[in-house]
Amino acid sequence: MNLRLQDIHLPLSEFTLKVDVLLKGRVTALFGASGSGKTTLLEIVAGLRRPASGRVQLSNSVLTDAGARLSVPVHRRDIGYVPQEGALFPHLSVRQNLLYGFTSKPERPAALSFAHVVEVLEIGTLADRRVATLSGGEKQRVAFGRALLAAPRLLLLDEPLAGLDLPLKERLLPYLGRIRDEFAIPMLYVTHAANEVMALCDEVLALDKGQVWFQGNPQEFFEPSQTVSYVVRAKS
Amino acid sequence: MEETFEITLFTLGVAALGTFLAFPFAIGLAWLLARRNWWGKSLIETLVALPLVIPPVATGLLLLLLLGRRSPVGSFVENTLGLEIIFTWRAVVLAAAIMSFPLLVRSARVAFEGVSPRLEQVARTLGASPGKVFATITLPLAARGLVAATLLAFARALGEFGATVMIAGYIPGKTATLSLSIYHLVQLGRDGEALGLLFWSIALAFGAVWLGEWFLKRRAS
């Protein structure tokens, strides 16, 4: 990805979110304790929130420029978003959920065909079920599939495994790896689980009270000296 | 008997038409109140709730002043649009619409607030325009609440009396609804006939409210 978050500034109730970074990872982990501003940053990228100042640029297209009062509407950003709870539409069938954002645009990558996405995520047998009958893991896989089928330029995943129990997390993690490898869509992945970062991500952006305190690769991030620094921050 | 039938049918008709006219405005306002923050919102909230708490005859008097022939609005409607309102069936419909409006707005707002904004946000990230999100996510998910709200407003419109008597008066065969007729018959000492109308009045209101509750409690199929 090539996501430039330039001088993003947004006062929140407890602190001010201040971010000025260029993200280049295939999958970038947005790491930090609860309430450190991760979700807010994701919402700014998605266009669901506007920063007080700053610019958001994805490759060559400027999505937000607070100074120029520019904000591309959410539905024209081509940025997929999977929240923690998946947020499947309860009144639609699994198939209708999957096809909600599906458009047959000419630039659509062949890998993002309905058949292929459904196959990679192993959700073909669920297509005619109602959302209410799905298990937690199935719901999350359908939510990934729905976001992918809209052929996004960037996928935002907000702690997609956080609400699930440990065995289920371990079963779902490989699906996220497959999404990364099969579809080549860059991802911004909010998490505070070290194993997920190590398994999926090639870049880490760590936030604490709205400020970036680390940007680099996961190996550096989890070096003992950094871990001590993180623990000290978490306690302070 | 034939007269009872006509009065009941007329009441059903004006209540339905009143609710129908109030519906788009009430739904629009309820959505704005549930989903947007805007300047003057609390003032509008209070104004909309007023017909619920001020005496209906006071609302009726206000409407009479507003739409009377000597008022600018009244003379515009009558002379330019060619519509006679005061003391016609249109006044009955107007009273029904205005008196059921606050109830419709309040219940519809609750219905919209029951839809998770997260679902609407996700729909937008999937490329849906605000209009498509409203039509395909918000409206279907709020539908049961909206139907219940509409039936409750319809029940309120069926029983409307105070504002109606002010702006429509009791004119047999022209503006006589169930509630106006009951009052008129009791005044004349014709209690037996009034009881017949009372039965229909209760039966219709009961049916509307019961149906509304049924819609609300019905599990999503």
- Res. A44: pLDDT tops 70: yes
For chain A, strand residue ranges (E) read: 3-11, 16-23, 27-31, 53-58, 61-65, 70-71, 79-82, 154-158, 187-191, 203-208, 211-216
Who contacts B101 (Cβ-Cβ below 8 Å, separation ≥6)?
B22, B25, B26, B48, B51, B153
Lowest mean pLDDT segment, chosen from A32-36, A71-75, B153-157: A32-36
> If 0-12 CB within 10 Å is exposed, 13-18 middle and 19+ buried, where does residue B138 land?
buried
Quick check: B118 and A83 CB within 8 A?
Answer: yes
Rounded CA separation A9/A37 (Å) = 11
Who contacts A143 (Cβ-Cβ below 8 Å, separation ≥6)?
A82, A86, A87, A88, A160
Rounded CA separation A210/A207 (Å) = 6
Give the residue-averaged pLDDT of A101-124: 84
Lowest mean pLDDT segment, chosen from A118-122, B22-26, B109-113: A118-122
- Res. B215: pLDDT tops 90: no
pLDDT in tens, B162-176: 999 999 999 998 999
Q: What percent of chain A has pLDDT over 90?
A: 58
Rounded CA separation A227/B65 (Å) = 75
What are the structure tokens assigned to B193, written together?
């006939």
pLDDT in tens, A17-32: 999 999 998 999 999 8
ipTM confidence score: 0.90
- Chain B positions touching A132 (Cβ under 8 A) are 220
What are the structure tokens assigned to A106, written together?
């000419």
- Res. A198: pLDDT tops 50: yes
Q: Does residue A145 sit at the B interface (CB-CB below 8 Å)?
A: no
Q: Which of B119, B120, B122, B144 has the most A C-beta neighbours within 10 Å, making it the best mutation to test the interface with A?
A: B122
- Res. A236: pLDDT tops 70: no
Q: Does residue B137 sit at the A interface (CB-CB below 8 Å)?
A: yes
- Res. A109: pLDDT tops 90: no
Q: Which of A63, A71, A91 has the most B C-beta neighbours within 10 Å, making it the best mutation to test the interface with B?
A: A91
Predicted local distance difference test score (pLDDT) of residue B58 = 95
Give the residue-averaged pLDDT of A152-168: 88
Rounded CA separation B123/A146 (Å) = 10
Quick check: A77 and B128 CB within 8 A?
Answer: no
Nearest to A99 by CA among A134, A146, A132: A146
- Chain B residue with minimal CA distance to A82? B122
Lowest mean pLDDT segment, chosen from A109-113, A150-154, B86-90: A109-113
Give how far B105 is from chain A: nearest CA, Å: 24
Question: CB-CB: which of A81, A91, A152 is closest to B122?
Answer: A81
DSSP letters, A50-106, are --SEEEEEETTEEEEETTTTEE--GGGS-EEEE-TT----TTSBHHHHHTTT----T
What are the structure tokens assigned to B3, written together?
């007269």
Quick check: A103 and B127 CB within 8 A?
Answer: yes
Tell me how far apart the terminal alpha carbons of chain A are, to the nearest angstrom: 33
Give the residue-averaged pLDDT of B118-127: 96
Q: Does residue A139 sit at the B interface (CB-CB below 8 Å)?
A: no
- Return the DSSP state at A24: -
**What stretch of H or E contains B164?**
helix B162-167
Predicted local distance difference test score (pLDDT) of residue B221 = 46
- Chain A residue with minimal CA distance to B127? A75
Give the residue-averaged pLDDT of A151-160: 92
Q: Does residue B123 sit at the A interface (CB-CB below 8 Å)?
A: yes
Predicted local distance difference test score (pLDDT) of residue B181 = 95
Contact map slice: A 9-48 vs B, CB within 8 A:
46, 48
Give how far B30 is from chain A: nearest CA, Å: 22
Predicted local distance difference test score (pLDDT) of residue B74 = 86
Q: Does residue A146 sit at the B interface (CB-CB below 8 Å)?
A: yes
Predicted local distance difference test score (pLDDT) of residue A166 = 83
Q: Which of A75, A103, A144 has the most B C-beta neighbours within 10 Å, making it the best mutation to test the interface with B?
A: A75
Question: CB-CB: which of A79, A89, A91 is closest to B125?
Answer: A79
Predicted local distance difference test score (pLDDT) of residue A233 = 65
Rounded CA separation A185/A177 (Å) = 12
Question: CB-CB: which of B124, B136, B140 is closest to A75?
Answer: B124
Question: Phi-psi bin for A208: left (phi > 0), alpha (psi -120 to 50), beta?
Answer: beta
pLDDT in tens, B61-72: 999 999 888 888
**What order do you get walking across the sheet with A16-23 strand by strand?**
A70-71, A61-65, A53-58, A3-11, A16-23, A211-216, A203-208, A27-31, A187-191, A154-158, A79-82
> If 0-12 CB within 10 Å is exposed, 13-18 middle and 19+ buried, where does residue A175 land?
buried
